[in-house]
Amino acid sequence: MSIFDFDILWKLIGLKESPFPYSRVAGSEDIPAEAKILNELCLGMPGTGKTASIVRQNVDYLAEHPDVSFISIDGSQDYTDQFLKYVLSKPPTQRDVLINRIYYDEPGNPDYVLTMPAFHKDYEVPLEAQVQRTIQDFEALNPELISDTPIMGGVSVKQYGRELFRLLSVCLNEYGTPWQLTEAKHLLTDRKLLARVLADYGSLSSSAKWLLGRYRTMRAEEAEKRTLGLLAVLDDIEAPEIYPRVGYHRPSYTLAKILREGGILLVNAHRVNTQDRTLAFIVTQIISHLMQEVQKRAPNNPNDNRVIFSVDELPTVLSLSNVQDAIKKMGSYMRSRKLSSILIAQDISQFPIELRPHIWNYGCVTIFKLRNSDSAYEAAQQMFPYLPNTVKAQSKSPTGQDIYEPDRGQYLQIANKIRDMKHRECIQRRQISERESEKYIQWIEKTKEAMFTATDRQVQELKDELLRRHGFRVDEVITSIKRRTTENQKKEGSGPPNLS
């Protein structure tokens, strides 16, 4: 039976017909579990129901797959709140299991902070790899400084920064853990402290002892020129949302533990969403930790658990080259290591142009109503094939020829339908499994109902509880950092620094 015959039969038996060409009516927007590895893209303007839909799918999937870990970075708070509200709305047994898997991270919270220092043995990677990761983060956050001023910027960050961080990583405090980035400036600006640290710990990092030993004997003007770029990039950690996060002596969580135990990390970045530098630092740090952990895996290892990385409403961060590189790798290189991504946005224009070919290649794409005509047209082109036999006007005489719709006209018609979709209506290009895809575009007249029975107050209480469970009080962390740096500066003579 031809497609035309099938459509006539569809009408004759009284079933709903899709308003889109080359599509079929689907019962729900649920993506098969086997297709999750091929990445997901979800677009839709606010108020279309996209967040509730994707939250319901993600939470249900995580409840059914307790070994799958989930990392979400949310710039608007809406996704995080709906995620927690849906978890709280689950039956008690299922709800409690999910809550025990959740780490809730809210950078900028005035009372509690989830710490993530640069160097620590709990990260389960060599200290040298942690040093290289930290240098790469600073390079990614300051591309103009590195490229436009290769001597005062590039050499300063890459060479002096690398050796300084190597020295920090071998200096141990009273807990047996390394010094942190909050001590970096003190070592560069306090010659006596640097001399003592090199005497005590320089033998553990010979390259750092040699370079920083020469730096210590330079004239003040020359030394300043050599480290001016490094001091500039270290200014980022002075932000009140970052300082306690990177300065504490141990981390609140590690990606190694989250991936091993099927943890759920929810990063609610709404408090720093208007501070581009701070937001970029925090997101870059989390992504670099995640990529470093996943890259330890062997390809196609059946013993590795699946990891899902979700990004919602972060257009500023998506412009960073390291974030784009990570997203590109998730679509290809990291798939064999069981890392996939979910990108959620209001409009395709929120993605950089150089990233769009990669995200349109995602296995599952869901489109809710789009307001922007250019975005709707682009979505139509990417989602639907051109059907050259679409008749625009039929001939009025037996000898005449029908006029066929050109590609632009056909895509404009589809784009107009996308702009006119109703609340909870969407179209979807999806996979059935990693190898098999749906032949037709799926049209969902109304997404499945997500039952939210919890209240906003219960959500806030859960967030407060999770912060207390995994975080540290901000005032206590800052006091600890300042006490140890002050005591270090007062120390005289030789002997290991006492960092309490």
Could you say which DSSP state residue 43 is in?
E
Which residues lie below 8 Å from residue 337, measured CB to CB, with a gap of 6+?
Answer: 294, 295, 297, 298, 299, 301, 304
> Is residue 12's pLDDT more than 90?
no
Find the mean pLDDT for residues 55-82: 97
At 428, which helix (H) or strand (E)? strand 426-429
Distance CA 468, CA 455 (A): 20
Distance CA 479, CA 494 (A): 25
Residue 2 pLDDT grade (very low, low, confident, very high; cuts 50, 70, 90): very low
Give how far Cα 305 sits from Cα of 1, 289, 309, Å: 43, 17, 13
Q: Residue 443: its pLDDT value, please?
A: 97
Which residues lie below 8 Å from residue 30, measured CB to CB, with a gap of 6+?
Answer: 57, 448
Using DSSP, state whether 173 is helix, strand or coil.
Answer: coil
Task: Find out if CATH 1.10.357 is the number for domain 15-114+280-369+421-458.
Answer: no
Distance CA 89, CA 72 (A): 20
Q: Residue 464: its pLDDT value, please?
A: 98
Find the mean pLDDT for residues 130-134: 97
> Is residue 493's pLDDT more than 50?
no
Cα 294 to the center of its chain, rounded Å: 14
Q: Residue 398: its pLDDT value, please?
A: 67
Q: Residue 391: its pLDDT value, please?
A: 53
Could you say which DSSP state residue 480 is in?
H
DSSP string covering 431-450: BSSSS-B-SSEEEESSPPP-
Find the mean pLDDT for residues 385-410: 64
Distance CA 441, CA 423 (A): 19
Residue 42 pLDDT grade (very low, low, confident, very high; cuts 50, 70, 90): very high
List the domain boundaries for the chain.
15-114+280-369+421-458, 121-245
> Is residue 497's pLDDT more than 50?
no
Are 241 and 271 in contact by the 8 Å Cβ rule? The answer is yes
Could you say which DSSP state residue 249 is in?
S
Q: What six digits make up the tokens of 169?
A: 């990583």
> Is residue 169's pLDDT more than 80?
yes
- Per residue in 286-341, pLDDT (tens digit) is 999 999 999 999 999 999 999 999 999 888 788 888 888 888 888 777 889 999 99
Are 289 and 123 in contact by the 8 Å Cβ rule? The answer is yes
Find the mean pLDDT for residues 106-132: 97
> Is residue 490's pLDDT more than 70?
no
> Is residue 30's pLDDT more than 60?
yes
* Among 166-170, 334-338, 375-379, 394-398, the least confident range: 394-398
Q: Residue 496: its pLDDT value, please?
A: 47
Q: What six digits make up the tokens of 415?
A: 């784009």
- Per residue in 179-233, pLDDT (tens digit) is 999 999 999 999 999 999 999 999 999 999 999 999 999 998 898 888 989 999 9
Q: Residue 286: its pLDDT value, please?
A: 97
> Is residue 117's pLDDT more than 60?
yes
* Among 46-60, 74-88, 146-160, 191-205, the least confident range: 146-160
Give how far Cα 350 sits from Cα of 52, 109, 195, 377, Å: 20, 27, 49, 15
Residue 462 pLDDT grade (very low, low, confident, very high; cuts 50, 70, 90): very high
Q: Residue 405: its pLDDT value, please?
A: 61
Could you say which DSSP state residue 116 is in?
-
Specify which residues 104 forms β-bridges with: 266
Find the mean pLDDT for residues 228-247: 94
- Per residue in 409-425, pLDDT (tens digit) is 889 999 999 999 999 99
Using DSSP, state whether 194 is helix, strand or coil.
Answer: helix
Distance CA 46, CA 27 (A): 23
Distance CA 442, CA 20 (A): 9
Q: Residue 152: its pLDDT value, please?
A: 73
Q: Residue 314: its pLDDT value, please?
A: 84
**% of the chain at pLDDT higher than 90:** 73
**Residues 211, 213, 239: CA angle, nearest 5 degrees:** 75
At 266, which helix (H) or strand (E)? strand 264-268
Which of 469, 499, 470, 384 has its CA nearest to residue 115?
Answer: 470
- Per residue in 76-116, pLDDT (tens digit) is 999 999 999 999 999 999 999 999 999 999 999 999 999 99
Are 326 and 286 in contact by the 8 Å Cβ rule? The answer is no
Q: Residue 182: its pLDDT value, please?
A: 94
Count Cβ atoms below 10 Å from residue 350 Cβ, excluding itself.
17
Give how far Cα 11 sits from Cα of 5, 83, 444, Å: 10, 39, 17
Which of 156, 281, 148, 134 has its CA nearest to residue 229?
Answer: 156
Cα 296 to the center of its chain, rounded Å: 19
Are 105 and 251 in contact by the 8 Å Cβ rule? The answer is no
* Phi, psi for 334 (deg, rounded to 5): -85, -10
Q: Residue 5: its pLDDT value, please?
A: 52
DSSP string covering 210-245: HHHHHHHHS-HHHHHHHHHHHHHHHGGGGSTTTHHH
Give how far Cα 348 sits from Cα of 307, 352, 377, 380, 383, Å: 25, 9, 11, 12, 13
Burial 220-232 (b: 16+ CB within 10 A, else e): eeebeebbebbbb
Q: Average model confidence (pLDDT) for the chain?
A: 89
> Is residue 375's pLDDT more than 60?
yes
